[in-house]
Structure 1
Amino acid sequence: MDKDLLKKAGRMLVCGFDGLEPGEHARTAARELLIGHWILFARNIRDHEQVAELNKWLARETRSNNGSTPFITIDQEGGIVSRLHGDLNTYPGAMALAAAGGPEISGRAARITAEHLHSLGFNVNLAPVADINSNPQNPIVGPRSFGDDPEAVSQHIISTSRGYLEGGILPVVKHFPGHGDTSEDSHKSLPLLPHPAHTLQNRELIPFIQAIEADIPAIMVAHLLVPALSSIDLPASLNADIIQGLLRRTMGFDGLIMTDCLEMQGISLYYDTGEAVLKAVKAGADLCFISHTLEEQEKGVKALYDGIKSGTISESRIDESLQRQQRIMMKNLPGQWEDGISIPGWSGRLPDPEMENLSRKSLTLLKNTNFLPSSGLEDFPGFQILYFVRPEQFIGENTVSGGDPLDRVEKAFPESRFRRIPSDRAEEELRRRPLALQGVEKLLVLTCDTGFYPDAVSFIQEQINGPLPVGVAVMRTPYEAGHFKGADFLLLGYENTRLAADSLVALLKGEITAEGTCPVSIL
């Protein structure tokens, strides 16, 4: 086997593995497959010291075996997509930041996030999200977006990207050409973006156009069918019309182009991993993600190696991407290509006081008709909280450590009655155990993507139309507030995270006021 060719194949892939320490999977990928780049998930992260040691190992092994400095990547968007979980998850997401203020706020948050990630040994963050969330039924973007106004989203994308770079982290703008107006999740299927080209040009593509003009270094391409942009029946991530034709030639982008993970069902239901890697690279991708399975990573390496040997794909095409990787790293992460990744360690405070303040500023009050007094509800008798729990929804490997963050609301009000109801089984649960309202004088409902579940929505509406004062705190997708316009109190929290829960508690105790402005149209 030609080891130099194997190294080149390995440098075209970004791979993940299980475990908090380098086990058999990681060792095989680094030492036998000669993988060039890495992605870590919540499954790989316990605390600062552990993840820093893991990243040191990855950097050392990659330089030793492949002869190059790796991109060590993470999905740390903040908010609902945070691989730094538990006590490490202390960064608001995009929509919460947009609710808190302008692009200077999101840029500052990105700088703080980047400094934290850099201290742990990461050099790439798969953020920010440039999707225009114009579809209220979008199951996968929602509060990960900065909003539904293309110009405002563009300014946040530019500011956030610059903030990451200032903190020593390469940003990756995603999900090209725009995942915001889909009603399907590309983790589970292959969504269709059905709009004509002029609609895409005037909405979906605007943040990417402006980001390219601002010289952002990397873009991730989504698994989407976009007929208006290509007559080829291939997802954008494998499509030369979209990658080379639109993104490279028409839009003039010469930075890194990455695919979303090729193990997502938007690809894996239709293509073998090796086939998908070859199609993506032929189409112009510089890096392909295979985030989970060693067997699929082996297929990816073999497909590239065999493709180069057989002439199915030219070695010059691979060299073009490898040169671009080197150029982007040398330009944006100075010193890393020659000297390797430095890991200074983290000495800051978590949660960061600025992030706490931004989370509080994001809370958006839509209505308060004699429900929440300025003194708060802490000493109010007869106060009951119903929490409609969101079923697990798959977003990559986003897991929560240490229980549900909204449990913090229950702990903050030990004298109130607190009941959890699963949103997807609300009717069954309430039939099994009817709601007891004896002695209740105010009812606060916490929702979390509850709008996707008609039975839960109907029950909440019944309470709103009943005799009790009812408040609703929407703690994830803001669009569901439209179902509850008749409530006496209506609040947007944007995310079911520790920071958002603590901000909600502060509001309910009368310690702060809600000053945010919703960045999407909902009522």
Structure 2
Amino acid sequence: MRTRSVAVLTLAVALAGAGSPPPAAAGTPVPVADRTTPAAGPIASPIDRLLSGMTLPQKVGQLFTVYAYGADADAPAAADAATNRRLYGVDTPAQVVSKYHLGGVIYFAWTNSLQNPRQVTALSNGLQAAAGGVPLMISTDQESGVVSRLPAPATQFPGNMALGAGRNVLDAFTAAQITGRELRAVGIGQAWAPVADVNVNAANPVIGVRSFSSDPILTAGLTASQVLGLQLGANTSAAAKHFPGHGDTNVDSHTGLPVINHTRAEWNRVDAPPFRAAVTAGVDAIMTAHIVVPALDPSGDPATLSRPIVTGLLRGELGYRGVVVTDSLAMEGVRQKYGDDRVPVLALKAGVDQLLMPPNLDVAYNAVLTAVADGELTEARIDESVRRILTLKQKRGRLSWTPLDPGAAERTVGQPAHQRAAQGVTDRTVTAIRNDAGLLPYPGTGKSVLVTGWNSSVYNNVPALAGSLAARGASASALVTNLPTDAQITAAVTAAGTTDLTVVLTSRAWDTTTADPGGRQQALIRALVATGRPVVVVAVRDPYDIAHLPGVTTYLSTYSFTAVAMESLAKVLLGVTAPHGRLPVPIPVAGDPGTELYPFGHGLSWRTS
């Protein structure tokens, strides 16, 4: 099985590297109807039988994927029931599914859907029982790294840019395969991953380390690997996002409408290869972006609502036959030009199939029904999208549902073999960028180490790194400062003055307007460097921070603040393992994005003990 997987993976990556399939000539799209309408004749297939027996309201419900509040399908907490009542007019998640004949549900921690394997599995079973004749496709955003929804004990991988630093297609496959298996064990059949955007803009506020790389071919190969890992390795549906490419923007489409000014030639060279690779690998779904690309559609409409982009480019030129899904319809990028009643209708007219998280489900659902009644949309057009959705469900075994065993899910999620694999993958991603004085590897035994700086409330990476260092003989202490006050900077400087080595963790210290207002992380590092004591700075998110940290002579990047990343970092710092990662993006000079401070592919290493 492993040999077969590697062979298939190698073929897909070779195709991705070649940029295949090549785009068709402009203006010659493949007709959508030719690829989706069944031949005339008697109804025979399970999908035909299902579709023929569905009412229009049931068909329209299949188009929507939304969230509902509550850890239990039938008995949510009082506060969750109240929220469901306000949003949907019913109390329970099961009632939301039944009322709107939903095709899909998406899980979030903030909807109380994701607590532990037993609870998630029971919730999935309960929602499927409410779905009636057509089971749900349950989904979540499990990209790994900074966007990971399924909590511990689920196996955590370091995320896409770390995989880009590792440059190992089999590691990308393994990460996706294990992630997919754990999702499927708790009833989640669709991961909104991988991110196929090419992050060519270091100031990108929304993609960053969610991207594999700034290199289109590296991104394409790893995108194909993860599609195959999820689908071939775990029978879990993948969704490449965000078409036609969200990598070159300094605007977040959650809060605004980005404009990407790539020419058509630049789009073909930079943005298209990962999506072509995903199509080649047979990706089940492709998610649209709420971005304007004038070279692809001069109308000013976001890609999600653009027929030239969805039907002409994605369906026609790239030849994509699977499900096209919107990004969340609650995001401002898709709501600036049209009302919430128009957006779902225009998305369907553009060629989209699946409508994700409208801000008001009742408004969106009834808008589509009204559009059919008024003749703006035909029932045949609705059938076209429902057929694709049902085909996806059939491919992943979701046209029938057998209740899952919560105990089996608990044994699968986070099992030791998965954790060992995650650690092995992560050990190959840490990147050493600067080691001017040869401070690293550091002899930890008998030495005192202060770990300070930015800390995730989920992963507690500052104390996690201190614990990993202490386990290897260092006398390590932790001082969380996050975005430090002057008093916290003074405390860190005082602690560093009596410590052999200080390790400072940073997160997007380059962004002094949004992520780190006022540059407090930079101020902390300046104060620590001024002590003259040995200081190592480690970026645990974007690798770009070093450009804004004059005086730092020892600098690494993990691209991740997960527990496995901190364990890998500790091993590199103390020379247990060598750093193997290489920059998957260039680091530009601060204030001069056209000049490289460190080039793509840069990475140091050293001998280990």
RMSD over equivalenced CA pairs, Å: 2.5
The aligned residue for residue 538 of structure 2 is: 473
Q: Which runs of 5+ in 1 are unaligned?
A: 391-399
Equivalent pairs: percent with the same residue? 27
Aligned counterpart, 1:396: none
**Counterpart residue type for residue 198 of structure 1:** A
Aligned to 2:120: 51
Could you tell me which residue of structure 2 aligns to residue 255 of structure 1?
322
Is 1:303 paired with 2:338? no
* 1:318 CA drift (Å): 0.4
Give the match for residue 23 of structure 2: none
| Displacement of 1:122 | 1.4
The 10-residue stretch of structure 1 (357-366 or 437-446) with the greater mean CA deviation from structure 2 = 437-446
445, 448, 453: which one pairs with 1:387? 453
The structure 2 residue matched to 1:356, chosen from 423, 444, 452, is 423
User: Which residue number corresponds to residue 275 of structure 2?
Assistant: 208
The separation in 2 between residues aligned to 1:174 and 1:285, in whole angstroms, is 14
* In the alignment, structure 1 residue 439 sits paired with structure 2 residue 505: no
1:165 aligns with one of 231, 238, 248: 231
Matched, 1:242 2:309: yes
Which of residues 510, 515, 519 is equivalent to 2:580?
A: 515
Q: CA deviation at 1:486?
A: 4.4
Partner of 2:482: 422
Q: Which amino acid aligns with 2:560?
A: E
Structure 1 counterpart of 2:250, from 175, 180, 183: 183
Going from structure 1 to structure 2, the CA distance change for 1:455 and 1:299 (only over 3 Å counts) comes to same
Aligned residues: 500
Offset at 1:182? Answer: 0.9
Flag the 1:118–1:298 CA change in 2: closer, same or farther, 3 A.
same
How far the C-alpha of 1:509 sits from its partner, in A, is 4.5
Deviations 1:379-434 (A, max 9, x none): 313x33331357xxxxxxxxx64x634331244467545333333xx465557868
Q: 1:280 is paired with a residue of what secondary structure?
A: helix
Contact 1:378 1:413 in 2 (8 A): no
Stretches of structure 2 lacking an aligned partner (at least 5 in a row): 1-52, 77-90, 513-518, 588-597, 599-609
- Which residue matches 1:21? 72
* Residue aligning to 2:564: 499
| Segment of structure 1 superposing worse, 13-22 or 369-378 | 369-378
- 1:388 and 1:121 mapped to 2: Cα distance? 34
Shift of 1:299: 1.4
Contact conserved, 2:452 with 2:502, CA < 8 A, in 1?
yes
User: Is the Cα contact below 8 Å between 1:226 and 1:236 reproduced in 2?
Assistant: yes
Aligned-partner Cα distance in 2 for 1:366–1:145: 19
Indicate if the aligned counterparts of 1:107 and 1:159 stay in contact, CA closer than 8 A.
yes
**2: CA distance, partners of 1:109 / 1:164:** 9
Q: How do residues 103-502 of structure 1 correspond to structure 2 at under 5 angstroms?
A: 103-166=169-232, 167-290=234-357, 296-330=360-394, 332-333=395-396, 335-337=397-399, 339-340=400-401, 343=404, 345-346=408-409, 347-348=411-412, 349-350=415-416, 352-369=419-436, 372=439, 374=441, 376-377=443-444, 379-381=446-448, 383-389=449-455, 401=458, 404-412=460-468, 415-423=475-483, 426=484, 428=486, 435-436=493-494, 437-453=496-512, 454-461=519-526, 463-464=528-529, 467-484=532-549, 486-502=551-567
TM-score by length of 1: 0.89
After superposition, the Cα gap between the structure-2 partners of 1:159 and 1:417, relative to the gap in structure 1 and judged at 3 Å, is closer
Deviation at 1:504, TM superposition (A): 2.1
| Counterpart residue type for residue 322 of structure 1 | V
State the Cα deviation string for residues 39-59 of structure 1 (Å, max 9, x = none). 111231111111111111222
Distance in 2, matches of 1:378 and 1:484, equals: 29
Q: CA deviation at 1:11?
A: 0.5
CA distance in 2, matches of 1:73, 1:389: 28
Deviation at 1:37, TM superposition (A): 0.9
> Whole-Å Cα distance in 1 between the matches of residues 527 and 460 of structure 2?
26
How far the C-alpha of 1:17 sits from its partner, in A, is 1.6
Paired amino acid for 1:282: K
SS in 2 for 1:500: helix
What SS does the aligned partner of 2:143 have?
Answer: strand
Return the offset for 1:374. 4.4
Closer, same or farther: CA 405–460 of 1 in aligned 2, 3 Å: closer
Q: Residue 340 and residue 450 in structure 1: after superposition, are their counterparts in 2 closer, same or farther (change >3 A)?
A: same
Shift in Å, 1:86? 3.4
Structure with greater contact order relative to length (CA < 8 Å, sep ≥ 6): 1
Judged with a 3 Å threshold, the aligned counterparts in structure 2 of structure 1 residues 204 and 169 are, in CA distance, closer, same or farther, namely: same
Residues 1:375 and 1:250: Cα distance change in structure 2 (over 3 Å): closer
| Shift in Å, 1:336 | 2.8
Contact 2:546 2:552 in 1 (8 A): no
Contact residue 388 and residue 450 of structure 1 kept, 8 A = no
Contact 1:369 1:488 in 2 (8 A): yes
Partners of 1:134 and 1:180 within 8 A in 2: yes
Work out the CA distance in 2 between the residues paired with 1:198 and 1:316: 36
Higher mean displacement: 102-111 or 176-185: 102-111
Does the 8 Å CA contact 1:193/1:227 hold for their aligned counterparts?
Answer: yes
Are residues 191 and 376 of structure 1, via their aligned partners in 2, closer, same or farther at CA, if it must alter by over 3 Å? farther
What amino acid is aligned across from residue 280 of structure 1 in structure 2?
A
Cα offset, 1:152, TM superposition: 1.1
The amino acid that maps onto 2:303 is A
